[in-house]
Amino acid sequence: MHPGGSPVTGRAGKYRNIFLVWLVWPLITLGIYHLVWYYKVNRESRDLDRRIEVDPVVSVLAVTLGALLIVPPFVSVYKTGARIARMQQSAGMQPTCSPLIGLLLTFALSLHSLYYQHELNQIWERYGYPAEGQEVPLAG
């Protein structure tokens, strides 16, 4: 509850098919979809809980231009997993998203996107599959 007594709310993200996110759309769009998805996932973390600080543009830059420095994409993927775990907590769930597993899955056919979307879908399932942008209550 806010000091005024009103419940804390955030905005829901989008429930997505994990196989379309991981394989189909990136193949069809020659990888562009993955960047759009990565931007949206990071934006959704901020939109769900304003206490989660992230600039989705910086996240995308880290996995694109940051690759020139080698380390930034891996830091970004790890931090995105941590944000998803935080989103699960905000939704009143036990966090099951492991940033380390997500990071390791980047080396296995980029399976981190499939894993992270699966973890995000659990949040939207908990809320009863709300429409993207719909207000949802947050836990503490």
- Residue 19 in any domain: the answer is yes
- Residue 134 in any domain: the answer is no
Work out the pLDDT band at 26, boundaries 50, 70, 90: very high
Q: What is the pLDDT of residue 6?
A: 53
Q: Which residue(s) pair with 10 in the sheet?
A: 136
Q: Which of 99, 108, 103 is nearest to 74 (CA)?
A: 103
Work out the pLDDT band at 2, boundaries 50, 70, 90: low
Q: What is the pLDDT of residue 138?
A: 97
How far apart are alpha carbons 91 and 9 in whole angstroms? 10
- Residue 73 in any domain: the answer is yes
% pLDDT > 90, the chain: 94
- Residue 6 in any domain: the answer is no
Amino acid at 50: R
| Residue indicated by tokens 């699966």 | 118
Q: What mean pLDDT value characterizes the chain? A: 95
- Residue 138 in any domain: the answer is no
Q: What is the pLDDT of residue 8?
A: 94
How far apart are alpha carbons 113 and 133 in whole angstroms? 21
Q: What is the pLDDT of residue 69?
A: 97
Work out the pLDDT band at 136, boundaries 50, 70, 90: very high
Selected residue with higher pLDDT from 5 and 38: 38
- Residue 139 in any domain: the answer is no
DSSP, residue by residue, 21-68: IIIIHHHHTTTHHHHHHHHHHHHHHHHH-TTS---HHHHHHHHTGGGG
Q: What is the pLDDT of residue 106?
A: 97
- Please tell me the pTM assigned to this model: 0.94
- Residue 121 in any domain: the answer is yes
Convert 96-135 to b/e letters by CB count within 10 Å (16 or more is b): ebbbeebbebbeeeebbbbbbbbbbbbbbeebeebeeeee
The structural domain count of the chain equals 1
Q: Are 86 and 92 in contact (CB under 8 A)?
A: no
Range of the structural domain that residue 86 is part of: 15-125
- Residue 10 in any domain: the answer is no
